[in-house]
Chains A and B, each alone.
Chain A
């Protein structure tokens, strides 16, 4: 009976703190027509939904370190910065980008278009401006033909050029022949001068067939992506019919690079300057005049979305090395919705069953257990909100399990009280001794499950941590609600109403 006022005070304060920390979560998920700003500020103090509930993608990337001298760690750190810039500009709500051990990068993006996000993140975005060697192309193609024929007497006449067709003013080939064309170029490598190479364009449609253009470019780049100060996407301005309705990326060079660009364009009037992105020629416009303003544009068959994403990656810079996806988990939004729905349903049904059972079995005292149980759920959500925890599907399972397991404490206490009553103790003594004796057992038995919870949280991966989190918080708060609060309620009522016969 000691300090009943103080103990009630503690419970009231705890509940008040709980309400305070639950408010943002409550508002975020129930209020409609919240402004964007309000949402963001509430989200900082609310429970997050895991990717498995809201839909989205979880990616683990690894830097491909093949034939690169740099340490994987440094490469990863540089790639990390670039990816962070790209994702920030992509405009995803609450992205997670983390460095992981082993030179890996973890990215979590809620609710995005998978293909587009992967493209945006993985694109190396190595941009080069290279002069075309058009004047040497015809001659070189003849030489390649001769070389291949000389190497293999059974070869057809003109083995190489027979694959080529004309695509507007360029040479090209059917995209299905790409492997053959590449193989022939490789075999003729020794007669191709060291300062040039064949580079292909993207797949495109030309007079009813899918083709790729082929260019002969200088190996050395005149300028690279590092020269770019800014890149923006916009509708294509050119009068060329081919580009009507497409989008382009307008580049703005840094000061030093702009000067070089002016020099290069001035010196090479009437030659072509190819814009090569990740080894593919995007376009190769003819230089008609010296360009002093430090501006250029990449045209191609880009949609608005593609142009926008390309502008983003060019602004953020090129990745130091290609990245490989070592783990990917994508959940579509409808599965997330289904999961929330079925999860909530399971929790409600579990709760109703357990609450009903306790009432039937322990009659009036069952109310105390049920009150403790509801309070436990309340604190569980409050603590999750306070720590900005994230709720996953296994997390919801943890809540359901907490409902089932948490009443164990009440069962232990009530069974003890019943035993004490059976041996003829008074109501008050039975309550005090029941709580005191059960406490040791409750503590011992909860601690092992909490140990498991903590281990799962530390070593577990992804969504299983959500389970560990809710289960651990649930059991900890259970120690408070079932034992402390439960006893306060019993003490208060037996004190106030002089209960002689406890209905338990």
Chain B
């Protein structure tokens, strides 16, 4: 029998201040990034146009930028895909998405006449549609959060419910922070990934809370922190195994899944890692602080 951790007895609760400190720092940085730098919203939300082109021969970014400048689109984003230096996404946010794709095609035909090119993808979204989608997405997130809150508070003690929701915000904020830092495109698919992370984070919280609740009825004489520690330790191997297999799948997606899904897989990777951390170091620790300040009467 292989065991990842054999009968662990790690005292997570006594080390809780390190967890809190780490989280406080990364969340502050994330918030600063989100509010100062802001997410790199994709054209799904801002409106605009995007064109993905694959050249036969490698082309350098500066030459592309030059061409774009000639049609007054020097502000367009150029993203290089893969290591071959021959595939690019050119993206222009904001108003007048109309003729963008066509004018880019024309100028590329003019400037790179002998370089065979294929237009893999073209997208145009009016700013009005982007705004509607943003509102719709916010609604989706709000409703998802409410339903989860209702479910968690119905199934669990309000302390665990609250702690799970804090952990969930923690994970979402951290992930968005990393997205801002790396300036990955914040598209509708990425929002889907963040919601998936929220689901996963709650999932972890529930497994751990379930176990702590079970221990609570069995270990009546023990102190609350011992119960929390036992719950965490008993679920530790499961936590590591599950995040392990999930990450195997996500990494396979990131490495082999191609350009279309890369941002999505990256977001999941970041979120699942932080989600696992938070379910161990944030959830139970919040409950433990709560218990110390406002002890619950035991029956």
* Closest A residue by C-beta to B130: A327
Of B122, B151, B237, the contact of A329 (CB 8 Å cutoff): B122
A339 CB within 8 Å of chain B: yes
Decide if B120 touches A455 in the complex (CB within 8 Å). no
Decide if A330 touches B123 in the complex (CB within 8 Å). yes
What are the residues of chain B within 8 A of A503 when measuring CB–CB?
1
What are the residues of chain B within 8 A of A504 when measuring CB–CB?
1
What are the residues of chain A within 8 A of B245 when measuring CB–CB?
353-354, 357-358, 403-405, 407-408, 411
Decide if A456 touches B253 in the complex (CB within 8 Å). no
Contact of A460 with B140 at beta-carbon distance under 8 Å, contacts A342-B258, A419-B234, A452-B195 already known:
yes
What are the residues of chain B within 8 A of A214 when measuring CB–CB?
none
Cα A331 to Cα B118 in complex, Å, equals 11
A151 CB within 8 Å of chain B: no
What are the residues of chain B within 8 A of A326 when measuring CB–CB?
125-126, 128-129
A180 CB within 8 Å of chain B: no
What are the residues of chain B within 8 A of A444 when measuring CB–CB?
155, 206-207, 210
A317 CB within 8 Å of chain B: no
Contact of A393 with B253 at beta-carbon distance under 8 Å, contacts A451-B147, A464-B192 already known:
no
Decide if B257 touches A400 in the complex (CB within 8 Å). yes
Contact of A354 with B249 at beta-carbon distance under 8 Å, contacts A412-B207, A459-B140 already known:
yes
Contact of A114 with B200 at beta-carbon distance under 8 Å, contacts A52-B260, A350-B249, A444-B155 already known:
no
Please, what's the 1-or-0 string for A401-426, where 1 marks a CB less than 8 Å from any CB in chain B?
A: 10111011001100100110000000
Mark out the residues of chain A between 52 and 93 whose CB falls within 8 Å of any chain B CB in the assembled complex.
52, 60
Decide if A393 touches B260 in the complex (CB within 8 Å). yes
What are the residues of chain B within 8 A of A342 when measuring CB–CB?
256-258, 261
A41 CB within 8 Å of chain B: no
Please, what's the 1-or-0 string for A374-411, where 1 marks a CB less than 8 Å from any CB in chain B?
A: 00000000000000000001101100110111011001
Q: How far is the CB of B163 from chain A (nearest CB, A)?
A: 15
A184 CB within 8 Å of chain B: no
Decide if A335 touches B120 in the complex (CB within 8 Å). yes
Decide if B248 touches A445 in the complex (CB within 8 Å). no
Cα A403 to Cα B196 in complex, Å, equals 14
Q: How far is the CB of B53 from chain A (nearest CB, A)?
A: 10
What is the number of residues of chain A that contact chain B, defined by CB distance less than 8 Å? 71
Contact of A327 with B189 at beta-carbon distance under 8 Å, contacts A342-B258, A354-B248, A404-B245 already known:
no
Please report the number of residue pairs spanning A and B whose Cβ atoms sit closer than 8 angstroms: 212
Decide if B247 touches A328 in the complex (CB within 8 Å). no
Contact of A456 with B140 at beta-carbon distance under 8 Å, contacts A354-B245, A468-B192 already known:
yes
A448 CB within 8 Å of chain B: yes
Decide if B260 touches A335 in the complex (CB within 8 Å). yes
* Closest B residue by C-beta to A101: B132
Decide if A449 touches B203 in the complex (CB within 8 Å). yes
Cα A326 to Cα B128 in complex, Å, equals 8
Contact of A400 with B192 at beta-carbon distance under 8 Å, contacts A338-B258, A405-B246 already known:
no
Decide if A401 touches B250 in the complex (CB within 8 Å). yes
B244 CB within 8 Å of chain A: yes
Cα A350 to Cα B126 in complex, Å, equals 37
* Closest A residue by C-beta to B128: A326
* Closest B residue by C-beta to A445: B203
Contact of A456 with B242 at beta-carbon distance under 8 Å, contacts A335-B260, A350-B248, A504-B1 already known:
no
Mark out the residues of chain A between 291 and 346 whose CB falls within 8 Å of any chain B CB in the assembled complex.
325-332, 334-335, 338-339, 341-343, 345-346
A441 CB within 8 Å of chain B: yes
Q: How far is the CB of A478 from chain B (nearest CB, A)?
A: 12
B136 CB within 8 Å of chain A: yes
Decide if B210 touches A346 in the complex (CB within 8 Å). no
Decide if A463 touches B147 in the complex (CB within 8 Å). no
Please, what's the 1-or-0 string for B218-235, where 1 marks a CB less than 8 Å from any CB in chain A?
A: 000000000000000010
* Closest B residue by C-beta to A458: B140
What are the residues of chain A within 8 A of B258 when measuring CB–CB?
338-339, 341-343, 346, 393
Cα A360 to Cα B1 in complex, Å, equals 9
A471 CB within 8 Å of chain B: yes
Of A328, A332, A405, A415, the contact of B200 (CB 8 Å cutoff): A405
Cα A254 to Cα B268 in complex, Å, equals 62
Decide if B250 touches A451 in the complex (CB within 8 Å). no
B73 CB within 8 Å of chain A: no
Cα A239 to Cα B144 in complex, Å, equals 70
Of B123, B136, B246, B256, the contact of A349 (CB 8 Å cutoff): B256
A191 CB within 8 Å of chain B: no
B71 CB within 8 Å of chain A: no
Cα A328 to Cα B44 in complex, Å, equals 11
A467 CB within 8 Å of chain B: yes
B18 CB within 8 Å of chain A: no
B238 CB within 8 Å of chain A: yes
Mark out the residues of chain A between 8 and 29 whose CB falls within 8 Å of any chain B CB in the assembled complex.
none
28 interchain pairs (CB within 8 A)?
Answer: A326-B125, A328-B123, A332-B120, A335-B120, A343-B257, A345-B256, A347-B252, A353-B245, A354-B248, A393-B260, A401-B253, A401-B268, A403-B245, A404-B247, A404-B248, A405-B242, A405-B245, A405-B249, A408-B242, A411-B238, A411-B241, A412-B238, A441-B211, A448-B203, A451-B199, A455-B147, A461-B136, A463-B189
Query: Across chains A and B, which 9 residue pairs bring their CB atoms closest together, nearest first?
Result: A404-B249, A342-B258, A459-B140, A404-B246, A335-B120, A350-B252, A452-B199, A449-B199, A350-B249
User: Can you add 8 more A-B contacts, CB < 8 Å, to A357-B248, A411-B241?
Assistant: A328-B122, A331-B120, A331-B121, A441-B206, A448-B148, A451-B144, A451-B199, A460-B192
